[in-house]
Amino acid sequence: MVNRNFYRSFQRRQKGVVAIEFVIIFPVLFLICYVIIAYAMAFLVLQNYTYAGEEVLRKTIEQCVDATDKPEWEACVGGLSAELKSSLIIYNSSTTTITPDCNPVPSGMLCEIKVSGTPLLGGITMPGFGKLPDLPDQLTGKASLLF
């Protein structure tokens, strides 16, 4: 027969082990959750920037029918992007830029819009790991349309 006091003393010793395991595992679990959220926000911002560029080009089709050369197209696309910037972009900071670029091609005019800005969440510097997640300084969404 096994002594009952042995089990009680064993359980008391285990309480300290649980605390030590928690101290070791909690930062890892926190870091994993933070990285998942930071990458999700980065992908959300990228999709939003791409969507904003596509919508500006769709509106350009409707409103810039009489534009003929490169400066006219860029002025029209730039004006529309300035108008629609606040309504299309979820995270509209001072670093968010919309850059139109229109180039003539044999079959018409190719307009390209780049929407860029900083990520919503930056990385956390972890000892031994460095900065996690390692996101770029600028996130850029791009859309193009042939008129």
Question: Of the ranges 9-13, 27-31, 72-76, which one carries the lowest mean pLDDT score?
Answer: 9-13
In the chain, where are the structural domains located? 4-146
> pLDDT tens, 55-90?
888 888 888 878 778 888 888 888 888 888 778 777
Around Cβ 95, how many Cβ atoms within 10 Å?
11
pLDDT at residue 1 greater than cutoff 60 = no
- pTM of the complete model beyond 0.75: no
Q: How many CA atoms lie within 13 A of 119 on its CB side?
A: 16
- 3 state SS of 89: coil
SS3 of 67-85 = CCCHHHHHHHHHHHHHHHH
Give the span between the Cα atoms of 145 and 109, in whole angstroms.
Answer: 8
Strand partners, 113: 100, 143
- Asked if 95 and 139 count as a contact pair (C-beta separation under 8 A), the reply is no
| Residue at token pair 């919309």 | 98
Give the span between the Cα atoms of 11 and 18, in whole angstroms.
Answer: 11
> pLDDT tens, 36-61?
988 888 888 889 888 888 888 888 88
